[in-house]
Structure 1
Amino acid sequence: MQDDSREDNDSALFKAELRGVKPLKHDRADTGKAKPDRKHLASLRQAASVRVDTVKVDGLSDQFVIDVGAEDPLYWAANGVQEGQMRKLKLGQIGFDGSLDLHGMSVEKARDTLWEFLAEASKLEVRCVRITHGKAVRMDGRKPMIKSHVNTWLRQHPQVLGFTSCLAKHGGTGAVYVMLKRTMLDGRDE
């Protein structure tokens, strides 16, 4: 019998505590965020899927192009890149997972193609790529255009840790191995 009175007492205490409390009319919490405008999101998605031909600001400047000769080997390392890693790159000991050939392209086409290629390689967390720039001597006797531009652009690209001319079997002084930053798979490479 005592248990029944205890239950009645507990029930009375519980009801007393709930006085003035109103039940919820829905089971969703108010996060304070506005609901997304579905029409606006659809228009943003549509705009993102349409290619607009505008001037692309990619950070690759042509203002100061470093002229290099047809047979000049290329080599550059960003600050903080270990010499051992660059030595492995130069010896072809870091396998390349992508290759791009810029032969026969105009400077502007080569620039856009290189930028898109490096962006895709970075997105895929590729460690090393090969860029074939060629080393054709120009008719006017000046230095090779694409090779000189690639040498300049790669130094400016934020994902490039370093580059060096390839081994003869991969294009020699007409191509470069390019070591790229990876951020997600193996930690930071800097």
Structure 2
Amino acid sequence: MQDDDFSLFKAQLHGVKPIKYDRADTGKPKTNRAQLATLRQAATARVDAIKVDGLSDQFVIDVGPEDPLYWAANGVQEGQMRKLKLGQISFEGSLDLHGMNVEKARDTLWEFIAEANKLEVRCVRITHGKAVRMDGRKPMIKSHVNTWLRQHTQVLGFTSCLAKHGGTGAVYVMLKRTMMDGRDE
């Protein structure tokens, strides 16, 4: 019976050639451990030049020069936003971004909101302007401010100002207050 099995096995191997190499080629070069250690160290090293502020420019919402801005975070009461829109919540600080490039405006806005937060300021005014550009595109700083404020964790809501405070060239911004918990909910 064993002869039958062997002859069947031999018949199945007809035309098969023996392997010359006993190692598989995975296609991957051998890892350079020294280079890998250097890359890991560089990835964990602190780079002071890069400032991660959470304000993204990846998807900027384009707005027109005269478009009114309005946004409220989830849970913000409509009555509070109505008061903000009517200018009934007085602003305690003001920032003018006229003439700044996008990077400078972003850094200045971030620092301004951080300072307002430290001082427990409830409402600020940010003047972004509504520059009608020569190339016909939408106002850059206004569009970026509209996008950034929606991303900032300290911003509860914002709305375009009354005409006497800048109209559609500025926004009132309602901020969270951290030390006075319970008053913003």
Within a 5 Å distance, the mapping from 1:17-166 to structure 2 comes to 54-166=49-161
Query: Corresponding residue for 2:17?
Result: none
Moved over 6 A (4+): none
Query: In structure 1, what residue type is equivalent to 2:51?
Result: K
Q: 1:169 — aligned with what? A: 164
Q: Deviations over 1:76-114 (max 9, x none)?
A: 000000000000000000000000000000000000000
Report the Cα offset of residue 185 of structure 1.
2.8
In structure 1, C-alpha distance between the alignment counterparts of 2:79 and 2:112, rounded to whole Å: 26
Q: Helix, strand or coil for the counterpart of 1:140?
A: coil
Equivalent residue number for residue 42 of structure 2: none
In 2, Cα distance between equivalents of 1:167 and 1:68 = 18
Cα displacement (A) at 1:183:
1.7
5+ long unaligned stretches in structure 1: 1-51
Distance 1:113 1:167 in 2: 23
Distance 1:123 1:54 in 2: 24
Q: Kindly indicate whether residue 173 of structure 2 is the aligned counterpart of residue 178 of structure 1.
A: yes
Q: How many residue pairs end up in the alignment?
A: 139
Q: Deviations over 1:48-87 (max 9, x none)?
A: xxxx951110000000000000000000000000000000
Match of 1:28 in 2: none
Q: Deviations over 1:20-70 (max 9, x none)?
A: xxxxxxxxxxxxxxxxxxxxxxxxxxxxxxxx9511100000000000000
Letter in 2 for 1:179: M
User: 3-state DSSP class of the match of 2:173?
Assistant: strand
Structure 1 counterpart of 2:27: none
Structure 1 vs Structure 2 CA RMSD: 1.2
Aligned mates of 1:77, 1:189 — CA distance in 2: 13
CA distance in 2, matches of 1:138, 1:109: 19
TM normalised by structure 1 equals: 0.71
**Residue 20 of structure 1 corresponds to which residue in structure 2?**
none
